[in-house]
Amino acid sequence: MSISLADELGGAVREAAHKSKVGLSTWLAQAAAAKLRSEALSEFLDTWERVHGPLTSDELVRAEHELGLRAQVEAA
C-alpha cells in the first residue's frame, strides 16, 4: 500500500510517530484503527438513538464518568 500526504501533514505525522517512539507505519495503522473504531461507535450510537431516542444529558455525563473521559477533558 502506498499513500501520499501533504508536506505539512506528512511532517506532523512523522513527528507524532517519533514522539510516540513507533515507526511511521505503526503510527498510521494505529491512527487508522482508531478512526475505524470511532466511525463504528458513531454508527452504533446513531442506530441506538433512532430506536431509543436521543441520549439525555445525564446519560452522557454518566458515560463520560464511567469511561473516565471527564477527567481527561478537565486535565487537558
What confidence category does residue 76 fall into, taking pLDDT thresholds of 50, 70 and 90?
Answer: low
Burial class (CB in 10 A: 0-12, 13-18, 19+), 13: middle
The model's pLDDT over 16-67, given as tens digits with 9 standing for 90+, comes to 999 999 999 999 999 999 999 999 999 999 999 999 999 999 999 999 999 8
Distance from C-alpha of 4 to C-alpha of 9, rounded to nearest angstrom: 10
Distance from C-alpha of 13 to C-alpha of 40, rounded to nearest angstrom: 24
